[in-house]
Amino acid sequence: MTKADIVNEISKSTGIEKVTVQRAIEAFMEAVKDSMVKEKNVYLRGFGSFVVKKRAKKTARNISKNTTIVIPEHFVPSFKPAKSFVNKIKNNVK
């Protein structure tokens, strides 16, 4: 499902114009991104959490050049679904 599909679905089910729904979805995504850039997690009860995870510094190998490189400590975005969300998927997907 794409963002356009989500906009169409919400527009059909609520009767709100697609343009308005798209603006709301864009604003939601920007709010989540801005919050995560500030290292603040976003919690949506019954849906899940958008969290910032810290990756430790590590040594890796570049096998094509046969060299060792150091990957510095960094942060990555992550999504953790709520238990009710996971259970709904487990019980309905075949």
CA distance 9 to 13: 6
Candidates 74, 76, 75, 73; CA nearest to 57 is 73
The phi, psi pair for 91, rounded to 5°, reads: -85, -15
44-91 residue pLDDT tens? 999 999 999 999 999 999 888 889 999 999 999 999 999 999 999 988
Name which CATH class applies to 41-94: few secondary structures
Q: pTM value?
A: 0.77
